Amino acid sequence: MPELLTQDQIDQISSSYLLLPGFLSTEETAKLLQRSKQLISEFPLETHPRTKFTTGDDNHVGDDYFLTSGDKIRFFLEEDAVDKDGRLNREKEKAVNKIGHALHELDPLFRKVTLENPKVQAVACDIAMHVDPVALQSMVICKQPEIGGEVGEHNDSYYTDPPSALGFWFALEQCTPLNGALSFLPGSHLTTPITKRFIRLPEGGTGFEKIVPPEVEAQAAESSKGKYILEACSPGDLVLIHGSVLHKSERNTSSHTRFAYTFHMIESPPRALYDAKNWLQPTPSMPFSHVLNEPNLKLINPALA
């Protein structure tokens, strides 16, 4: 018997994504939002390398500040908040694109909602997609007013073989069509293969490596032409995102921020092989973070396998 989700909800994940309204309490949500703002206001700009975050295919961030951020809490700036001389053209509080990538381990409040949250554990058990789920790449995405960058169409399953990612995405503020709410292409996980992975390049930096022949890439491009569904969300809502489903968010053109907290859950070895080329690698001081105290020995959900 599922602990928290209904069977219908579990089945819905296998058709792309599932919105769970009010998953976090008002108080939990307000604390996470307040903490995010506090982290931004406290980080020292003087020593910051002005690393920006964008998601274009040819223009991906890859400096040392980014590459060594998997086990730290670091701050990445909006592209349009930094001028050509590296000066911010607005206050720091309105310039940060995202905070990442180890909030789930290092910050007590984010840790509590991620690794020490009985509801997250119950969801992981109910969905039964992972035997020993681990959390990684936690981020607060800020979508700053007027300049909050788009996140281009992508899927998240670029960590393991076989693919095993499940995205947990929590709205910390109202998400609307104008401030960059998420949108999804339902069913794309069945028709659109994972075509590329985001890796650490041998020559330095990061980039995408194609993992399918050109004809499969062309077929994937064709099947991604469907109609996206935009999901407006309220603070505290959780969206669970199947790792192979295409999703994106547009630039924030409104005068309001759109803070959200997200992390990815994947299967741990030996059931899934972690990609040695992935930009994010476990470190001795921070191996991947287990979500459950005991492995989930339920039959893996065949619809998600």
Q: Which of 247, 268, 278, 288 binds ligand AKG (CB under 6 A)?
A: 247
Q: How far is the CB of 156 from ligand AKG (least distance, A)?
A: 5
Closer Cβ to ligand AKG, 241 or 296, answer by number: 241
By the 8 A CB rule, do 256 and 171 touch? no
Burial of 62 (0-12, 13-18, 19+ CB in 10 A): middle
Q: How far is the CB of 164 from ligand AKG (least distance, A)?
A: 15
Closer Cβ to ligand AKG, 169 or 279, answer by number: 169
CA 73 to CA 79: how far, in whole Å? 19
Q: How far is the CB of 294 from ligand AKG (least distance, A)?
A: 28
- 26: region left, alpha or beta (phi > 0 left; psi from -120 to 50 alpha): alpha
Q: Are strands 206-210 and 289-290 parallel, antiparallel or unpaired?
A: unpaired
Closer Cβ to ligand AKG, 133 or 180, answer by number: 180
Closer Cβ to ligand AKG, 94 or 143, answer by number: 143
Q: Which of 114, 249, 268, 296 binds ligand AKG (CB under 6 A)?
A: 249
Number of residues that bind ligand AKG (CB under 6 A): 11
Closer Cβ to ligand AKG, 169 or 296, answer by number: 169
Nearest to 291 by CA among 73, 132, 79, 184: 132
Q: Which of 28, 71, 78, 156 binds ligand AKG (CB under 6 A)?
A: 156
Tell me: does residue 260 bind ligand AKG (CB under 6 A). yes
CA 184 to CA 246: how far, in whole Å? 6
HSE-CB at 153 with a 13 A cutoff on CA atoms is 20
Burial of 139 (0-12, 13-18, 19+ CB in 10 A): buried
Identify residues 158-177 at the interface with ligand AKG (CB under 6 A). 167, 169
Q: How far, rounded to the nearest angstrom, does the alpha carbon of residue 126 sit from its chain's CA centroid? A: 21
Closer Cβ to ligand AKG, 2 or 254, answer by number: 254
Closer Cβ to ligand AKG, 101 or 130, answer by number: 101
CA 199 to CA 221: how far, in whole Å? 21
Identify the three-state secondary structure at position 116: coil
Identify residues 180-209 at the interface with ligand AKG (CB under 6 A). 180, 182
Closer Cβ to ligand AKG, 124 or 182, answer by number: 182
For 80, 114, 212, 250, 294, the CA distances from 267, given in Å and listed in that order, are 36, 16, 22, 30, 14
By the 8 A CB rule, do 140 and 259 touch? yes
Q: Which residue is nearest to ligand AKG (CB)?
A: 249
By rule CB under 6 A, what string of x and - marks binding of each residue 127-146 to ligand AKG?
--------------x-----
State the residues that interact with ligand AKG by CB under 6 A. 141, 151, 156, 167, 169, 180, 182, 247, 249, 260, 262
